């Protein structure tokens, strides 16, 4: 069976496949640069594992309190090495990225402190953590105030407004690297570093936390290389390599991470407790694979941007822009188009390929959200997925793909479903 026939068997017409191949022919240079970045980051991860003398004893399971867990301790040393920080907290007890961010914020903010976001509103689920939308146990309930500065119309930082917003109570500045459910640019490590330098020039003692979700291993550096006091993320995104079944990480200064450990477990216990429950092999191997898995997801994002932009859809980032995370936003213009796009992604999945995604009232969101994800790990955003809130401009956010070839299939099927619905057209389709 030829490759074209195999794609046809999976639901992709010859016309859509041929269009995809024409787009792909122009991306050799971009893909070569992604491969170079993956090789660099692979070497960085490998060196961290070797320097910390990872061996088979690191994979032993622990239960109960998890005292004297050598594998857990070495994993955290490896993460600190990779991210060039003093310390790291990497635990299966951190259930998701939002939880990791919550731990980092609540551990390092006290009643009377103020949290500042200089990049506009944070991701939807974090709004209830902060108390922008009221919720039990929010930071606002514990006396932490919040202020934000909107981005400029071109997506840049409004430095005069940021300087004016930093006051006596400002304790911690949070920077969201990725776009979330917004069609704004994602930020490079260099841009984040420039913002950190500016903030600390205004108030040297202020802490800076970077929500690093979706950005790990996309560049040769991380925000922690540019002065962030904490970088925070989820293991079921980039750094878990598709193998970690749960977990999150917080890398940063010893003072910040120690407080996070006390908040995650209990004062006086900190990092000394927390059984690994037999998950360490997947954490280590997932991190080892993460640079190449992230590279496959990046190729998928670049391919999607080029494929859809040529058909007249607005994409963020644009087809030619440098990449700072694995997320590709495509503005589709209608709920019907979002449903068609997500149906294609779902039909490309190895798990639950037969189900139809429909919008639903997802906890933590104001608008119904449609999500397509047939993943081995539930909710894993490094696996092929697409989602978005049902609201103008009806943008869908595509990310992931444990291999480039799976990402490619998903993108082609998303276009096929749009073509089938009469919402897009490629040359050769009748």
CATH code of residue 357: 3.90.1150.60
Domain end among 259, 287, 315? 287
The pLDDT value given to residue 429: 62
> Do 227 and 301 have their domain in common?
no
The residue among 261, 287, 313 that closes a domain is 287
- Domains: count for the chain: 2
25 and 47 together in one domain: no
In a domain, 87, yes or no: yes
In this structure, the answer to whether residues 186 and 224 fall within a common structural domain is yes
As given in the structure block, the two tokens for residue 367 are: 């608008």
Same domain, 98 and 217: yes
Same domain, residue pair 261 and 311:
no
Is 428 within a domain?
A: no
Do 277 and 319 sit in the same domain of this protein? no
Q: pLDDT value at position 182?
A: 79
Return per-residue pLDDT of the chain as tens, 430 residues: 899 999 999 999 999 999 999 999 999 999 999 999 999 999 999 999 999 999 999 999 999 999 999 999 999 999 999 999 999 999 999 999 999 999 999 999 999 999 999 999 998 889 999 999 999 999 999 999 999 999 999 999 999 999 999 999 999 999 999 987 777 889 999 999 999 999 999 999 999 999 999 999 999 999 999 999 999 999 999 999 999 999 999 999 999 999 999 999 999 999 999 999 999 999 999 999 999 999 999 999 999 999 999 999 999 999 999 999 999 999 999 999 999 999 999 999 999 999 999 999 887 677 899 999 999 999 999 999 999 999 999 999 999 999 999 999 999 999 999 999 999 999 866 5
Flag whether 327 is in a domain: yes
Can you give the residue range of the structural domain that contains 25?
3-41+291-420
Tell me, yes or no, whether 280 and 297 share the same domain. no
Q: Are residues 50 and 121 in the same domain?
A: yes
* Shared-domain flag, residues 410 and 296: yes
Residues 277 and 328 in one domain: no
Q: Please report whether residue 425 resides in a domain.
A: no
CATH of residue 185's domain is 3.40.640.10
Question: Residue 103 domain-assigned?
Answer: yes
216 belongs to a structural domain: yes
171 and 186, same domain (yes or no): yes
Claim to verify: residue 37 and residue 53 sit in the same structural domain: no
């Amino acid at each position: 069976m030829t490759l074209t026939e195999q794609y046809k068997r999976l639901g992709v017409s010859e016309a859509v496949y041929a269009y995809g191949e024409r787009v792909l022919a122009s991306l050799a240079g971009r893909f070569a640069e992604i491969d170079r970045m993956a090789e660099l980051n692979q070497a960085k991860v490998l060196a961290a594992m070797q320097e910390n003398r990872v061996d088979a004893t690191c994979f032993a399971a622990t239960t109960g309190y998890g005292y004297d867990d050598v594998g857990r301790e070495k994993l955290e040393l490896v993460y600190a090495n990779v991210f060039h920080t003093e310390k790291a907290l990497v635990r299966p007890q951190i259930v998701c990225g939002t939880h990791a961010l919550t731990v980092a914020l609540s551990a390092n903010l006290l009643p009377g402190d103020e949290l500042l976001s200089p990049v506009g509103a944070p991701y939807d689920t974090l709004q209830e953590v902060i108390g922008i939308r009221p919720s039990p146990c929010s930071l606002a309930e514990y006396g932490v105030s919040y202020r934000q500065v909107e981005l400029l119309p071109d997506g840049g930082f409004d430095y005069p407004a940021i300087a004016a917003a930093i006051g006596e109570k400002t304790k911690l500045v949070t920077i969201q690297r990725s776009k979330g459910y917004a069609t704004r640019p994602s930020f490079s490590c260099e841009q984040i570093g420039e913002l950190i330098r500016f903030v600390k020039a205004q108030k040297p003692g202020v802490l800076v936390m970077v929500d690093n979700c979706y950005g790990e291993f996309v560049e040769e550096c991380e925000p922690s290389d540019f002065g962030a006091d904490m970088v925070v993320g989820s293991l079921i995104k980039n750094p878990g390599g598709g193998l970690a079944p749960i977990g999150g990480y917080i890398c940063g200064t010893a003072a910040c991470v120690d407080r996070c450990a006390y908040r995650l477990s209990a004062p006086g216990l900190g990092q000394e407790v927390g059984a690994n429950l037999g998950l360490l092999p997947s954490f280590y191997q997932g991190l080892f694979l993460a640079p190449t898995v992230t590279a496959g997801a990046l190729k998928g994002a670049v391919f999607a941007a080029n494929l859809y932009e040529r058909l007249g859809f607005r994409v963020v980032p644009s087809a030619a822009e440098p990449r700072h995370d694995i997320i590709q936003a495509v503005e589709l213009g209608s709920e019907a188009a979002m449903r068609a796009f997500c149906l294609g992604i779902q039909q490309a999945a190895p798990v639950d390929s037969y189900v139809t995604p429909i919008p639903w009232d997802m906890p933590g969101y104001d608008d119904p959200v449609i999500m397509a994800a047939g993943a081995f790990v539930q909710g894993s955003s490094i696996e092929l997925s697409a989602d978005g809130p049902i609201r103008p401009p009806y943008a869908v956010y595509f990310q992931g793909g444990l291999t480039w070839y799976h990402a490619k299939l998903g993108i082609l099927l998303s276009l096929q479903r749009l073509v089938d619905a009469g919402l897009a057209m490629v040359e050769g389709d009748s």
